[in-house]
Amino acid sequence: MYSFEQLAGQERNIRFLRGAIRQARWIHAYLFLGPEGTGKKTLALAFAKALNCLDQQAFQAGQACGMCRSCQKIEHGNHPDVHLFQPQGTALRIDQAREIRRLAELKPYEGRYKVFILDQAERLTAEAANSLLKLLEEPPDRCAFILLASDLGAMLPTVVSRCVTVRTQPVPTAQMEAILQERARADGRELDPGDVRVACALAEGSVGKARDLAEGRLAGLRQAALQFVLNVGRWSAADCLDFSAHWEDKREEAGLLIQLLQGIYHDLLWIKLASGLAQGYLLHPDQAPALAEAARTLSLDAILQSLQLCRWVERQLDRNLSVRLALDVLLLDLRECFAGRDVPLVATEYEGG
């Protein structure tokens, strides 16, 4: 649902936008700038709703009723005066810019304002960006332009200078945990607190990403990663290779698995170094007794070496190394670390060039 009420952590931006509508001082061109998953598109569509809400009382308060014909049409993506443009392939192209210019010259069909939302605006080609410049400089009456971007450096400075920048912020981890549990309870479900904690830590401030992780594949992956670290001392080389084979055609899941392994080894490091003080810093506090037992078994050097191996293999996956090869190397070497045997650190060799 596209509403201001659904946006967590953006209270300051919401107050600013609602105030602009209430005082009839909103600007014709905005740049909503922030990391992926911080609610830029939801904020833009909620703003479009508030600008065009047919409930006069709600409009004067700078918000949307959510129930009128206009709000419902925007919610379902079929309002004739609210247009969302997304990249065609890898870019927002000149033909899209020309279409925006054509539509902007027309009067609103049924709303107060025509609203144009450009998703991933940093992907505007130079030709398309230049085509929109005059429109941003001298906008037609009753038009609003909202550009959404994650990378300011990739945008044409002349485009940025003609917009008011609204920065969306990552949602704090503790707030995300509360939001996910509250929404799950509203749907009659319960989420595992351990999975929610880890999902929010990995989500980099994105509630949507955290929800996808907590409600999707994370539970099985988290347990798989924990079981590997806690039991690898009893695994044979063949067991490691069999485990690796499971992820051969699942690059995204393999990358997430390696992130989870790093989190577990970070927990072992906290336990090793901070002992009784570590509990408040653990990513997996629900596994504290088992992790404490593993930390007693592993040397500090082995934990540090395991972290270094995970980071090195993660970089290799980013460079498109075979998933099977990357995990084979990683899991076999982590097994050697657990056994207290020295591992020829490919990571050290790599860093040295």
209 plus 224 within the same structural domain: no
Position 18 scores a pLDDT of 92
23 plus 78 within the same structural domain: yes
Q: Furthest-apart CA pair in the chain: how many Å?
A: 74
DSSP characters over 196-229: HHHHHHHTTT-HHHHHHHHHTTHHHHHHHHHHHH
175's tokens: 């707030």
- The total domain count for the chain is 3
Separation between Cα atoms, residue 73 and residue 70, nearest integer Å: 5
49 plus 144 within the same structural domain: yes
Q: Are 304 and 269 in contact (CB under 8 A)?
A: yes
The rounded radius of gyration (Å) of the Cα atoms in the chain is 25
Position 97 scores a pLDDT of 95
320 plus 188 within the same structural domain: no
Separation between Cα atoms, residue 216 and residue 311, nearest integer Å: 24
Polymer length in residues for the chain: 353
Helix (H) or strand (E) holding 19: helix 11-22
What is the full per-residue pLDDT of the chain (353 aa) written as tens digits? Answer: 777 877 777 889 999 999 999 988 888 999 999 988 788 999 999 999 999 999 999 999 999 999 999 999 999 999 999 999 999 999 999 999 999 999 999 999 999 999 999 999 999 999 999 999 989 988 888 999 999 999 999 999 999 999 999 999 888 888 888 888 888 888 888 888 888 889 888 887 878 788 888 887 777 888 889 989 988 888 899 998 998 888 888 888 888 999 999 999 999 998 988 866 666 788 888 888 999 988 888 889 889 989 988 988 888 888 888 888 888 988 898 888 888 777 665 544 444 43
CATH, residue 332: 1.20.272.10
Separation between Cα atoms, residue 42 and residue 53, nearest integer Å: 16
Q: Are 338 and 234 in contact (CB under 8 A)?
A: no
25 plus 162 within the same structural domain: yes
Helix (H) or strand (E) holding 327: helix 323-338
224 plus 199 within the same structural domain: no
37 plus 106 within the same structural domain: yes
Position 353 scores a pLDDT of 39
Task: Residue 184: give the domain boundaries.
Answer: 172-216
Position 122 scores a pLDDT of 96
The predicted model scores a pTM of: 0.71
Separation between Cα atoms, residue 146 and residue 241, nearest integer Å: 50
Position 277 scores a pLDDT of 60
147 plus 191 within the same structural domain: no
185 plus 268 within the same structural domain: no
- Quick count: other Cβ atoms within 10 Å of Cβ 257? 25
CATH, residue 27: 3.40.50.300
341's tokens: 């045997």
Separation between Cα atoms, residue 104 and residue 158, nearest integer Å: 20
135 plus 9 within the same structural domain: yes
Q: What are phi and psi of 84, to 5 degrees?
A: -110, 120
202 plus 279 within the same structural domain: no
185 plus 274 within the same structural domain: no
